[in-house]
Amino acid sequence: MCLLLALSPFDIWPLGFAAPALMFLASDGQRGARPLQILAASLMFSLATTAITFGWIAGTIWRYTGQNLFLASLLAMVYAIVFQLKFPLVFFALRSLRLTLRQGAAPLVATASVVAIADALAPELFPWSWGNGIAGEPHLRQIAAIGSVYLVGFFAVLVAAVLLAPLLRRRSDSQSAFNLGPALLIAALILCALLFRYWPDTAPSSPPLRVAIAQTSIGPAPAAKSSDENFAREAINRLFAQSVDALQLHAPLDLILWPEASMPFHSASPSVANRNIYSVTFDGALEYLRRRAQVAVIYHDMHKESNALRSRFAARGADVPEAQYFKKRLVPWGEYLPFGARRWFPEAGNFTPGSLRPQALELPLVAQREHLTYTQIQGELSLVQQPAVLRQNFDLGKTARVLQVQPLLCYEALYPSDAQTQTADVIINLASDAWFGDGFEGAQHASATVLRAVENGRPMLRAAMSGISFAVDNRGENLVARTGQGRPETLFAEIPLTTRRTPFSVLGMISFYALMFAASWPWLLSRLTASRIRENK
């Protein structure tokens, strides 16, 4: 419950310290217990975390699979056991290494390091970290710039350990001296966070990026709707209408974002491989915006290569061919079927993952833009159905500048390693949380992805089909108010392309593991010394 309240939408971040403290209490209570008892206690934590903090998972599996609620609940329990292994890892690691909070300063720091490393290494479909629990505090989240959200998690666990250790030592009549070493480490991390929070940025050399996000909120798209023409018509009509409104209200625009699954089941590419899923209106709307309105568009569609169906992040700007990236991390049941049991779950997706991790894409932006009025656009609506005519009669605008974009599709934005970049001007995440409903998941997902901006020192845009969409700067601060959930909205923002070099953007996860090794070194050295002394005797 503490973890749930620490995360969005509640953001009671002090409870982010209470959650690991309760885990430490449970682990301490298993001293001397048998392995099966430890396993049972840790799995209870896994089940409770899934049921309370991430209770939306059972409902999502039910909607994805189309099965009854009992089977969906059973699958959620399997998920809790298989993909919440960080609790068993922590309980058994602390037992094997004989680490408790009742010992001195070095073992206490090592204990926090073990928990943070288990946090990073445990396999998860929807990753969360102890660091997410305190990331609602804008100063503390800056620690992620040094070593990712997992270093923020280390900080949260270390603070919990320092506060809890005197209580446990008093109960066992152990030494209760003040832990000066861990306290100094906490102070050092807070100082680094303050430096990253307030150190001034170098003024950007290019003007702000003017962006509109079309959050259409058309709802989830089960396979039954793949041949529904009215559904497809409504989807593209909302996208185009909201884009036209943005052009009228916020001209001139540099870029429009269309979220993931805002035009499901279709491709905007007129290639031979895509002939069965190609939408001429989808293609035409994109060509009209970039050739007549002279605004770049980043969007998501389905794309076929030979027999492989892929989920594609694509960008159309002032040049051809369009830039693209194929989604690497697919969502189970929604985009692929784990364990090969398709006959039991016919609603499951059948996508093929991309082979490369996300790399920065080049998107040329137009130099001069013609302002189109509603009357002009109304008179040219027939062109939206004629992408070939648009390509033949309207040239692409002259390139003013090239935008470097780090692409992330859906929950790829939950993985720090996928977002690492030193070259991108902006991180852009296209997502759809429609399958998860309008509950806690949307807020948890959106807030967790903000940390990618902090880690890499880059501004970030998130376009979510059903919300929450946002625009944040390189410190994770909102540039404009975020959108809501479950309703159509159009978000406009001016994005200062201010970037900063962070240890994480340069070293990636190496920075986190190196810091954890350094933090554990005094304890490791004491263990090695004690071992040699015993051998000499």
Cβ-based neighbours of 210, under 8 Å, separated by 6 or more: 250, 252, 253, 254, 255, 492, 493, 494, 495
Least confident range from 83-92, 114-123, 404-413, 494-503: namely 83-92
531 confidence band (pLDDT: 50, 70, 90):
confident
Give the CB-side neighbour count of residue 312, counting CA atoms within 13 A.
22
Which is more confident, 294 or 169?
294
Q: CA–CA separation, 213 vs 189, rounded Å? A: 36
- Distances from the Cα of 287 to the Cα of 282, 284, 317, 396, angstroms: 9, 5, 10, 10
Residue 83 has pLDDT above 80, yes or no: no
- In the predicted structure, residue 71 carries a pLDDT above the cut 90: no
Q: Give the three-state DSSP class for 262.
A: coil
Q: Give residue 146's pLDDT.
A: 96
pLDDT of residue 178: 59
Q: Are 318 and 296 in contact (CB under 8 A)?
A: yes
The strand pairing partners of 100, in sequence order, are none
pLDDT 10s digits, 132-149:
999 999 999 999 999 999
Q: How far is CA 406 from CA 324, 358, 426, 428, 464, in A?
A: 11, 7, 6, 6, 16
Separation CA 373–CA 267 (nearest Å): 28
**What pTM did the predictor assign?**
0.93
**Per-residue pLDDT, 111:** 94
pLDDT band at 461 (very low <50, low <70, confident <90, very high): very high
* pLDDT tier for residue 354 given thresholds of 50, 70 and 90: confident
Q: What percent of the chain has pLDDT over 90?
A: 58
DSSP state for residue 174 in the 8-state scheme: -
Is residue 212 helix, strand or coil? Answer: strand
Rg (CA), the chain: 25
pLDDT of residue 53: 83
The answer to whether residues 490 and 242 touch, using CB atoms and an 8 Å cutoff, is yes
**Which stretch, 34-48, 86-100, 377-391, has highest mean pLDDT?**
377-391
Domain ranges for the chain: 1-199+507-536, 209-499
Categorize the per-residue pLDDT at 305 as very low, low, confident or very high, splitting at 50, 70 and 90. Answer: confident
Looking at residue 470, its pLDDT comes to 97
Whether the pLDDT of residue 65 is over 70: the answer is no
DSSP assignment, residue 326?
Answer: E
Of 115-129, 282-296, 481-495, least confident by mean pLDDT is 115-129
Task: Indicate the pLDDT class of residue 352, thresholds 50, 70 and 90.
Answer: confident
Q: How many H helices and E strands in the chain?
A: 18, 11
Check pLDDT > 60 for residue 209: yes
For residue 328, pLDDT over 70 is answered with: yes
HSE of 108, CA atoms in CB hemisphere, 13 A: 28
- The pLDDT of residue 536 is above 70: no
d(Cα 16, Cα 6) in Å, to the nearest integer?
5
Contact predicate 259/469, CB 8 Å: yes
Mean pLDDT (whole number) for 28-37 = 85
Alpha-carbon dihedral angle through residues 314, 413, 120, 124, given to the nearest 10 degrees: -90
- The angle at the Cα of 436, spanning 465 to 218, to the nearest 5 degrees, equals 35
**Secondary structure class of 305 (helix, strand, coil):** strand
Two tokens, residue 238: 């909302």
Task: State the angle between helix axes of 15-28 and 86-96 in degrees (0 to 180), rounded to the nearest 10.
Answer: 50
Question: What's the CA angle centered on 528, arms 527 and 533, to 5 degrees?
Answer: 100
- pLDDT given at position 349: 62
Please state, in angstroms and as integers, the Cα–Cα distance from residue 104 to each residue in 392, 468, 520, following that order: 75, 45, 13
Residue 521 corresponds to which tokens in the numbers above?
A: 């070194």
The reported pLDDT for the residue numbered 372 is 87
pLDDT above 60: residue 343 = no
Chain position carrying tokens 């949260």:
156
Could you give the angle at which helices 69-83 and 56-65 cross, rounded to 10 degrees? 120
Closest CA to 465 of 444, 493, 500, 490: 490
pLDDT tens-digit readout, 403-454: 999 999 998 999 999 999 999 999 999 999 877 766 788 899 999 999 999 9
Instruction: Evaluate if residue 339 carries a pLDDT over 70.
Output: no
- Kind and range of the H or E run holding 37: helix 35-48
Burial class (CB in 10 A: 0-12, 13-18, 19+), 398: exposed
* C-alpha count within 13 angstroms, C-beta hemisphere, residue 537: 6
Q: How crowded is residue 48: how many other Cβ atoms within 10 Å of its Cβ?
A: 15
| pLDDT bucket at 151, cuts 50 / 70 / 90 | very high
Mean pLDDT along residues 301-308: 88
* Whether residue 345 has pLDDT greater than 70: no
pLDDT at 462 over 80: yes
Confidence at residue 334, expressed as pLDDT on a 0 to 100 scale: 67
441/331 Cα distance (integer angstroms): 15
The three-class DSSP label of residue 253 is coil
Lowest mean pLDDT among 51-60, 173-182, 438-447: 173-182
Q: Tell me what percent of the residues of the chain surpass a pLDDT of 70.
A: 91
Tell me how crowded residue 531 is: count the other CB atoms within 10 A of its CB: 10
CA distances in angstroms from 468 to 240, 348, 406, 431, listed in the order given: 20, 25, 19, 9
How many residues are present in the chain?
537
Query: Dihedral of CA 56/61/63/69: which sign?
Result: negative
* pLDDT for the residue numbered 63: 65
- Model confidence at 481: pLDDT above 60: yes
Which whole-number Å values give the CA distances from 424 to 259, 269, 290, 498, in the listed order?
Answer: 20, 26, 22, 11
Whether the predicted pLDDT of 229 surpasses 80: yes
Q: Quick check: helix, strand or coil at residue 348?
A: coil
pLDDT at 263 over 70: yes
Cis peptide before 468 (omega within 30 of 0): yes
| CA dist., res. 256 & res. 239, Å (int) | 10
Assess whether pLDDT exceeds 90 at residue 344: no
The number of beta carbons lying within 10 Å of the beta carbon of residue 234 is 14
The sign of the CA dihedral 285, 289, 290, 292 is positive
Residue 77 has pLDDT above 90, yes or no: no
| Residue 162 pLDDT level (bands cut at 50, 70, 90) | very high
Query: Would you say domain 209-499 falls under CATH 3.60.110.10?
Result: yes
Which range among 11-25, 139-153, 357-371 shows the weakest confidence by mean pLDDT? 357-371
